[in-house]
Structure 1
């Protein structure tokens, strides 16, 4: 293992610390870009909508809003004081939380708030619900532990009645989230220097709410349509000795009813059913009543759609995906579900809905929800708007540490149960590109047995092609799955034909097009290939023409990467802030029409069409203005961004330095973020500014990210050139050379020497420097790395 490569990764993932400034109120933190919905967020209206549309009761209370928070060492006791306020349910790391701090694997995150006990009738219970908490949550009510849950994507509930007291009550939630260092599935929320993954989410990130229920109540409803038998299969979870009445209605008109025992599998007739499809997403309303002793004791409202998904043979004997017993090409796109202002959490329900509306307005009929489980309302909007969903399970920790397999299967089981009722979900997707894959046949067959009402894409990207080169061969691809699936970047290709399996293209495309002033990270415009805005439509059209040819050859579905830019990836059809569409909606619908001719009712969505002017031409005009003497701050910032995107490194350095020089202290958090972004050398003007900010007691920045950035710069400019020139570096001379750089210089010096002596197995010098490094800065590195260095110290004593 080359620990200098590891080191550069660790610099970007070391502990980011806590601000010494407690917050006195909520304010959205700086974000490079934000969506139009961010302005609608406040502590009094944080996602106020009813969070569980398929099992609705009237007697509920939303607990979103301002909570107190604290970050403590993992082994610390419950805090007696809190560091500020956080807006729930936005994750700790997001701008909308009002905090925007990272949580380290060595830390716990604590939440606290009070509420008034609801008025209860005899025998009633109070249930406390969490939409999702990433990753492990332990809940205390009035100091009494009421339960815990692991799993960052699954909802959970607790009966807190016994812990309540009259008047004011307290909830405390302790969260532990080790992300990639833990045993739990974590999706793509792991930041690394290659921008392969994205900013992590920690803590509460979906709605927290309470509801009052009777002594005997409905705890769950399972709905499975069967259009061939014209029935809806229903199972209602409720106490033994109770009965159930089901009433289905069509726009208020009763069409069917039935009765039976709670817990039994009931069959509700649905004659002459209106089938659910993307073109006609018809939903029936369902009332579920719980009776005991002839009286209704509980009632919930729900809905269902009558649809069937299967692999069947077409008229030519080709295995294809069928919807409602007819061939149906799944024309889809890969949706990551990230937001520049809320990360995992959409700013508002309208924002959550917009993403599906925009994808439908583009002319797609399918969304592959990529390695994330969304809030229940996202699937409700997909049901209502008409969108097929390929739902990824969140892959295990790819290193498969002890306990990760059991945790993956526990969380997958919960996901299967949680999402079962949504007609939009037609396909389960397992083990994207073999990430964390194990026991593939057993896992696939388990999923198929657990839910025979859907098809299973056993191993999406089991074969991965990039530029026609096979990167990921497999000896037993797609075992027991309903599909053969390949990923092919950038150009589309067909999957192999196998008996009884549909052929799908699980990912393709990834055309990178940057749009100035609408980028999360102006230093990155990643895509599998790069195109200028003016060339995107033609390239994309050709890709879709090839899809049509592949459909004639047996292709049954395709997933384009991707609908929206995400952080450093700028290969979306819309920018990350959802403001600019790179091909006009109407034009995209025409491109897609041969594969998706029946769109149904289209939602009205708004976004600006991209300016297709060559960005280099626009940059050249701005550079000439700079040559001619223009120096206003806003112009200099835009010029610096455009220079990066045009590949003019020298111009970017000049403009960035001029921009920083135009600013005056005290700096706003937004300005400090930009100074950090434009500083890449010890000689840059921003380097000295950031050094001063680290020393200032009234600094308005998060100090750990700045320290990490300066450490990387010092290593690149001062230490690494020496190490590249000699195999016997003079560490005393290096120590003197880093003195002007203060604590960041000392930390990177100790780290570099530790890693260097470790790699060289220079045990006589290793133990001393490693002990010093761990004593001073060990809290800043991952636990597994601390353990590795300590073990090496112990081993060095025997050398």
Structure 2
């Protein structure tokens, strides 16, 4: 089915009216490194859009000191200008600059030696920043956070009084090799409306000169220990931090930790493993000089092994575990990339849990850290995709394999839109940054560097790179097709043919885990809850009743038998409708659940039962 080309309807979510335009998303944006002395800069900013002179470098951005004299109006940060919640409703072209300006005051006067950091959660795609007429830095890559020390720009004294921040943004979307996810200048079907500019929280933080700049918490479930590494750039060689770990309010470990030195803390009492069934988190406090931060950690382990029948399985806490997952793209009709409220972020996770799912595959998007926090505390495994980039994709390369076309060698970069060496280097750099950014998140269980040949290249080598960066998690090197025989998974996407376990995997395969990482996509149009006039889906049904029956039939006839024969993970497409796509279990506006929660939960329980080991036969006397 073709996608809509007309203007979409305005859809609101149950949380749209709860958005405070003067202070949206006020929650602390970094739950695993929280300290007092911070303030949000979300809310009304001035904005303008101006022409940009042609530049060969797609990352080139206008000088932030050349801000326009006239401004176009007000934008509500952190919502992209393309979204209703921003209050703007216009797109940014590659030959334009999007300007932001806001005046601010610090949450309190600075003490001697204190620093001020300006944090920007994500800015799509490239930007430069100035404070009080001084350029303080910039960033390229639209999905990862960055921080700038703006202390010097604030001038002498205690920083009191009013200050001004200016941000210049350029977004070339899909006209270059920069990471873009599913944004497309020719949106429709599975490709969506571009987002631009600031789309995650902007915030200020006051911290001492010597402070915890990074906190690594690596659990060792078998030993009942946590390895702690405190990074503090301005600390001397003999500095130590006091670390305390609590379980349900009781101290289970407390010790001084030398700054910069990985140090193991033994936890008192039996370890309590984290799992979707028991998402227990240990609280962590760190004191370094005048700095105080709070965090949390979970005891869990991920791996690959074989079950009693000899099938390769994913392991959770040393035992075979069947992740029953949903594809989750993280789009909202009112906020685009940005959920309207923190409760909306949590509600998606709660809905998936209520339906019996234990895993969300975060699809070619890196969410705000609060989304991962909700997965940590509510008990939801996360399979994290890297964000795709590259040049224009060849339709046959990215679509023909759905019908069984053979895998191509991805070392031939021109086939995958990866001719540009600078684009390949940038992808690997951002992949490293993503792994470092999320590696302490307890719920992140697996990395997915490439999906369906979208900008894929050298996937076997890239899988080894990810494994070296983080040996504690499995890697799905090529989700869908163009398998290079690498990573920990043989990853299949199945839409227009039955889900079957290849004969090779019935006999143990090549040692990798067999996973169907996209399937289903059954669709239902709910009148009044669709985004465009035309819709896209893989198989269309006319009522919730027929849809629920079809979903149950698919699982009982195909997925359950496949799990018994060695299928080790499932990812149904998908959690919510997105723009023209109507194959979600809930509508795009999150107002209509298409398959009843209890029905989906019963289906998923049957999958788990199929993966359970057969009971040992009773011995006769």
Q: What range describes the TM-score normalised by the shorter chain of this pair? A: 0.7 to 0.9
1:233 aligns with 2:218: no
| Equivalent residues of 2:124, 2:195 under 8 A apart | yes
Q: Structure 2 CA distance, aligned partners of 1:31 and 1:70?
A: 26
- The equivalences for 1:364-763 within 5 A come to 364-398=357-391, 399-400=417-418, 401-462=420-481, 474=482, 477-490=483-496, 491-494=498-501, 497=505, 498-521=509-532, 523-533=533-543, 534-545=545-556, 546-596=558-608
Alpha-carbon deviation of 1:80?
1.4
CA shift for structure 1 position 158: 0.6
1:33 aligns with 2:11: yes
Q: C-alpha distance in 1, partners of 2:88/2:608? A: 44
Residue 217 (structure 2) aligned to one of 223, 238, 261: 223
8 Å CA contact 1:89–1:345 kept in 2: the answer is yes
Verify the 8 A CA contact 1:457 1:482 in the aligned structure 2: yes
Partner of 1:646: none
Say whether residues 1:300 and 2:293 are aligned partners: yes
Residue in 2 that maps onto 1:755: none
Q: Give the number of equivalent residue pairs.
A: 556
SS at match of 1:223: strand
Deviation per residue, 1:616-657 (Å, 9 max, x gap)? xxxxxxxxxxxxxxxxxxxxxxxxxxxxxxxxxxxxxxxxxx
Aligned counterparts of 1:541 and 1:551: Cα–Cα separation in 2 = 15
TM-score computed with the length of structure 1 as normaliser: 0.68
Q: Is the 8 A contact 1:494 1:505 kept in 2?
A: no
Residue by residue over 1:122-177, the C-alpha shift from the partner in whole angstroms, topping out at 9 and shown as x without a partner, is 10001100111111111100111000111111010011000004411110001111
In structure 2, the residue matched to 1:258 is 255
Q: 2:27 aligns with which of 25, 34, 49?
A: 49
Distance of 2:461 and 2:491 partners within structure 1: 18
Offset, 1:593:
1.0
Q: 1:378-418 CA deviation, whole Å, 9 max, x = no partner?
A: 00000000001100000122433452111111211111111
Quote how far apart the aligned CAs of 1:191 are: 4.5
Checking the alignment, whether the CA contact within 8 Å between 1:224 and 1:453 is kept in structure 2 is no
| Distance in structure 2 (CA, Å) of the matches to 1:265 and 1:67 | 42
Structure 1 residue 597 displacement after superposition: 6.5
Deviations 1:578-625 (A, max 9, x none): 011111111111121122479xxxxxxxxxxxxxxxxxxxxxxxxxxx
**Match in the other structure for 1:333:** 326
1:351 paired to 2:344: yes
Cα distance between partner residues in 2 of 1:378 and 1:194: 27
Match of 1:645 in 2: none
Deviation at 1:12, TM superposition (A): 7.6
8 Å CA contact 1:363–1:596 kept in 2: the answer is no
Structure 1 counterpart of 2:616: none
Contact 2:230 2:257 in 1 (8 A): no
Q: Secondary structure at the match of 1:354?
A: helix
Q: Which residue matches 1:607?
A: none
Q: How does 1:95-244 map to 2 (within 5 A)?
A: 95-117=84-106, 118-165=108-155, 166-192=160-186, 194-238=188-232, 239-241=235-237, 242-244=239-241
Unpaired segments of 5 or more residues in structure 2?
Answer: 54-61, 392-416, 611-621
Aligned to 1:90: 79
Q: Distance in 1 between matches of 2:248 and 2:221?
A: 20
Do the aligned partners of 1:56 and 1:300 also contact (CA within 8 Å) in 2?
A: yes
SS at match of 2:33: coil
Q: Which residue of 2 aligns with 1:754?
A: none
Residues 661-705 of structure 1: per-residue CA shift (max 9 Å, x gap):
xxxxxxxxxxxxxxxxxxxxxxxxxxxxxxxxxxxxxxxxxxxxx
Q: Which has the higher helix share?
A: 1
Q: Give 1:44 deviation, angstroms.
A: 2.4
1:311 touches 1:500 (CA, 8 Å); kept in 2?
A: no
* Other-structure match for 1:314: 307
Give the secondary-structure state (helix, strand or coil) at the position aligned to 1:181: coil
- Contact kept, 8 Å, 1:32 with 1:519, in 2: the verdict is no
CA distance in 2, matches of 1:12, 1:511: 22
Residue 89 of structure 1 deviates from its aligned partner by 0.4
Task: Write the deviation string for residues 711-739 of structure 1: whole angstroms up to 9, x where unpaired.
Answer: xxxxxxxxxxxxxxxxxxxxxxxxxxxxx
1:280-334 Cα distance to aligned partner (Å, 9 max, x none): 00000011121xxxxx321210001111110011122221011111111110010
CA offsets 1:714-769 (integer angstroms, 9 cap, x no match):
xxxxxxxxxxxxxxxxxxxxxxxxxxxxxxxxxxxxxxxxxxxxxxxxxxxxxxxx
**Equivalent residue in structure 1 for 2:48, among 66, 70, 75:** 70
Structure 2 counterpart of 1:686: none
d(CA) in 1 for partners of 2:9, 2:570: 34
Residues 9-37 of structure 1 show CA distances to partners (whole Å, capped at 9, x for unaligned) of: 9x989xx9xxxxxxxxxxxxx95211011
Distance 1:183 1:227, change over 3 A: same
Distance 1:258 1:564 in 2: 46
Give the TM-score, by structure 2 length: 0.87
* Conservation of the 8 A alpha-carbon contact between 1:278 and 1:385: yes
Tell me which of 269, 276, 281 is aligned to 1:278.
276
CA contact (8 A) 2:42 2:78 kept: yes
Tell me if structure 2 keeps the 8 A contact 1:183–1:402: no
Residues 99 and 167, structure 2, Cα contact 8 Å, conserved in 1: yes
Contact 2:382 2:443 in 1 (8 A): yes
Cα deviation for residue 363 of structure 1 reads 1.0
* 1:543/1:161 CA distance change after superposition, 3 Å: same
In structure 2, C-alpha distance between the alignment counterparts of 1:406 and 1:83, rounded to whole Å = 37
SS at match of 1:555: coil
What RMSD, in angstroms, separates the aligned Cα atoms of the two structures?
A: 2.0
Deviation at 1:260, TM superposition (A): 2.5
Rounded Cα–Cα distance in structure 2 between residues aligned with 1:262 and 1:493:
52
DSSP 3-state at the match of 1:412: helix
Moved over 4 A (4+): none
Q: Counterparts of 2:189 and 2:97 in 1: how far apart (Å)?
A: 26
